[in-house]
């Protein structure tokens, strides 16, 4: 069995300078998860908007052109994350969407990709992994 290096949670401040003013829409039906995400990234030069379901997310994307990235939960009431992603991509095809879910089956990843998600991250979210995805997806 290979020994893996531990994932470090320290963030390189130079890397974050490129995120200055970046606005992320967090689409999550669990208030506690949204709250924890904002606390998790406090002081990281990121701005957040929140939606509790996919329909609200679509409406926020329509209203706020400054959204640079969407962190989309897949399982939600009113409108699920896959349908919300399809509608968001119809409005703004270049807006990066990262699917977030506790489910890690290959079918879930395939469904997310088919819906238009640019990437996929599993819960609980690793801060460094998410920041690397943001770095890859957002061209500043």
CA 83 – CA 87 distance, rounded (Å): 6
Q: How crowded is residue 45: how many other Cβ atoms within 10 Å of its Cβ?
A: 13
Q: How crowded is residue 125: how many other Cβ atoms within 10 Å of its Cβ?
A: 18
Q: Per-residue pLDDT tens for 26-65?
A: 998 877 676 677 776 776 677 889 999 999 999 999 999 9
Structure letter (DSSP) for residue 2: P
135 or 116, greater pLDDT: 116
- Tell me if 10 sits within 8 A of 52, measured CB to CB: no
Q: Per-residue pLDDT tens for 52-105?
A: 999 999 999 999 999 999 999 988 889 999 999 999 999 999 999 999 887 777
The pLDDT of 124-140, averaged and rounded, is: 80
Q: Whole-structure pTM over 0.85, yes or no?
A: no
Q: How far is CA 52 from CA 37, 75, 88, in A?
A: 14, 11, 15
- Which helix (H) or strand (E) element contains residue 49? strand 46-51
Q: What would the CATH number be for the domain defined by 17-137?
A: 3.40.50.2300
- Tell me if 139 sits within 8 A of 96, measured CB to CB: no
């Amino acid at each position: 069995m290979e020994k893996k290096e531990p994932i470090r949670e320290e963030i390189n401040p130079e890397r974050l300078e490129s995120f200055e003013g970046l606005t992320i829409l967090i689409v999550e039906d669990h208030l506690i998860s949204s709250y924890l995400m904002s606390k998790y990234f406090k002081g990281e030069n990121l701005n957040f908007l929140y939606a509790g379901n996919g329909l609200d997310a679509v409406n926020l994307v329509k209203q706020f052109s400054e959204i640079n990235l969407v962190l989309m939960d897949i399982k939600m009431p009113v409108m699920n994350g896959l349908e919300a992603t399809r509608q968001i991509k119809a409005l703004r095809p270049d807006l990066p969407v990262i699917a977030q879910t506790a489910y890690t089956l290959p079918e879930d990843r395939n469904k997310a990709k088919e819906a238009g998600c640019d990437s996929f991250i599993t819960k609980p979210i690793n801060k460094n992994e998410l920041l690397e995805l943001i770095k890859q997806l957002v061209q500043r």
